[in-house]
Amino acid sequence: MIRHKYIAFVLILLLSATAANAQMARKPSPTREPKGAMDKKPDSSKNSLPKIESRNAFDSIARVYHAGTPYSMPHVMFIIDRRSNNKIYYVNSQKYRFHKDFLLATYLIPRGTEIFKPIYVDLDRRFIVGTIAWQAPVEKFTWELWEGDLASAEIIKTANATINASFFQKATYKPNSIRQEDVSANIGIDRILQDELNRNQAYLALNTGTAIGRVHIIDKLDDTVEIGDNEILILKELPLNLPPVRGVIVAKPSSPLSHINILAKGWNIPNVYIKDADKLFRDYDTFVMKLSANLTDYSFDRASQDDIKEKFVSPDQQIPPADLKTTKLAGLREMRKADSIKYGAKSANLGEMLNKKRTTLSITQRSGGKSWTNFAPRSRKVNLMITCELRSSPDGKHNWAANPFLSAVRQTAKTCQILAVPVFIRASRM
């Protein structure tokens, strides 16, 4: 008799009333940019330049936000190909919106290639991508990486040397995250921090506009925080990504070239830095407010009833039907799916389960010492899954006939009462 050192099992009853709709952060593209972002014909027909020899050459391929104002920031994307002896491309940023657009258009990468990990995470990456910008407050050119880039000290040093060997004027490295600050602290290159650029600044419009939404102050953004598409977020620190919202207020200085600002421009929503905003507006948390942001100042006031009626309701907001007259507390066996408007979809679905019987069960052996046990025919709405982890016998096979647990599962399955057909009612999500 084959001895099993352990037999572990997990019995999971999956009762899914609806598939969760994940919040997807829609990235902007040239066809979804706000007016004035990329609406003019490129000054240069070239895809890129191998070096920048003058300010005129820089301006010929630079993209500018808020052109003609004191807040304008000309900037040019760059790509360094480490495989080609650190060849640098100063990308025509009037022609290409993202680094990946240039890489695909020039066949440096094939279509379908994964972009994120090989460019922003891997230490042995082929490409180094970033942006060079003219910083008017300090009258310097700076170069920077995306705030989520995990570049090593070696990568930062390589980029700094390559840029300054091909740029007409010294470009100083600007870290965009605490990690980038720490990594570059002692590697012997000049730096300038965002705080130095905004040292005496209490307000900065990263993207102008007007929004009406519920104020949501987030001290720390993690997976437990739920964000609604009708909210104006007040953030203590800038995250790497966000789902679509009505407006963004950041309490600490951030780069106008950050990923969040690019998203805000694509969504055409106000995105501003207001010093200590999390403290200034703490009393307004959960209130419906109207944010109006322009280049020089802003207003943040309680929304009027007319504004709330006309502009606050989310386009995809659904209000499920509800029976508020029923006062009886019914047991699960008394409920059916039609009672969802009285007791909610979950309770009504459980009631359906208790009043339907299913005694057919199929057990299929799978590789890796696991078996999947599902009711047949398989329902799209409900499954019973039993996962068994068994220690293999010396010959690498499982002795199913001699396994007491599987025998017990088969016996127990005969008495299971489970819904066999998809008659559940879908739960509504506000």
Compute the distance between CA of residue 43 and CA of residue 301 in angstroms, rounded to an integer: 42
| Spatial contact of 90 and 82, defined as CB atoms under 8 Å apart | no
Please indicate, yes or no, whether residues 160 and 107 belong to a single structural domain of this protein: yes
The residues near 257 (Cβ < 8 Å, ≥ 6 apart) are 73, 75, 131, 133, 144
Domain final position from 197, 221, 241? 197
Looking at residue 374, what DSSP letter applies? Answer: E
- Owner of token pair 């919106």: 97
Please indicate, yes or no, whether residues 259 and 380 belong to a single structural domain of this protein: no
Domain with 297 in it: 203-312
Specify whether the backbone of 114 is left (phi greater than 0), alpha (psi in -120 to 50) or beta.
beta
Domain final position from 159, 180, 197? 197
3-class SS at 145? coil
Compute the distance between CA of residue 68 and CA of residue 40 in angstroms, rounded to an integer: 15
Q: Quick one: tokens of 282?
A: 């703490």
Please indicate, yes or no, whether residues 40 and 157 belong to a single structural domain of this protein: yes
Please indicate, yes or no, whether residues 285 and 342 belong to a single structural domain of this protein: no
Domain final position from 269, 293, 312? 312
- Owner of token pair 């969760």: 20
pLDDT values of the chain reduced to their tens digit, one per residue, 430 residues: 444 433 333 333 333 333 333 322 333 333 334 444 555 688 889 999 999 999 999 999 999 977 777 678 899 999 999 999 999 999 999 999 999 999 999 999 998 888 899 999 999 999 999 999 998 878 899 999 998 999 999 999 999 999 999 999 999 999 998 899 999 999 999 999 987 887 768 888 888 999 999 999 998 888 888 898 899 999 988 787 889 999 999 988 877 778 888 788 888 999 999 988 999 999 999 999 999 999 888 999 999 999 888 888 765 666 678 888 888 888 888 888 888 888 888 888 888 888 876 544 444 444 444 444 444 444 433 334 433 333 344 444 444 455 555 555 555 444 443 333 444 455 544 4
DSSP string, 66-135: STTSTT-EEEEEEEEEGGGTSEEEEE-TTT-SSHHHHHHHTTSS-TT---HIIIII-TT-SEEEEEEEEE
pLDDT of residue 377: 41
Specify whether the backbone of 415 is left (phi greater than 0), alpha (psi in -120 to 50) or beta.
alpha
Please indicate, yes or no, whether residues 41 and 176 belong to a single structural domain of this protein: yes
Total residues found in the chain within this entry: 430
Please indicate, yes or no, whether residues 18 and 37 belong to a single structural domain of this protein: no
| Spatial contact of 99 and 147, defined as CB atoms under 8 Å apart | no
pLDDT of residue 397: 46
3-class SS at 142? strand
Please indicate, yes or no, whether residues 242 and 178 belong to a single structural domain of this protein: no
pLDDT of residue 396: 45
Please indicate, yes or no, whether residues 283 and 357 belong to a single structural domain of this protein: no
Number of domains in the chain: 3
Please indicate, yes or no, whether residues 114 and 237 belong to a single structural domain of this protein: no
The burial of 420, by beta-carbon neighbours within 10 Å (0-12 exposed, 13-18 middle, 19 or more buried), is given as: middle
Compute the distance between CA of residue 379 and CA of residue 361 in angstroms, rounded to an integer: 12
Q: Quick one: tokens of 22?
A: 């994940």
Please indicate, yes or no, whether residues 208 and 256 belong to a single structural domain of this protein: yes
| CATH code assigned at 263 | 3.50.30.10
Q: Quick one: tokens of 48?
A: 């890129």
User: In the sheet that 247-250 helps form, which strands lie side by side, from edge to edge?
Assistant: 203-207, 271-274, 247-250, 231-235, 209-218, 288-293, 298-302
Q: How far is CA 257 from CA 66, 132, 253, in A?
A: 13, 10, 12
The residues near 329 (Cβ < 8 Å, ≥ 6 apart) are none
Please indicate, yes or no, whether residues 173 and 231 belong to a single structural domain of this protein: no
Please indicate, yes or no, whether residues 429 and 327 belong to a single structural domain of this protein: yes
| Spatial contact of 147 and 177, defined as CB atoms under 8 Å apart | yes
Q: Quick one: tokens of 177?
A: 């995250």
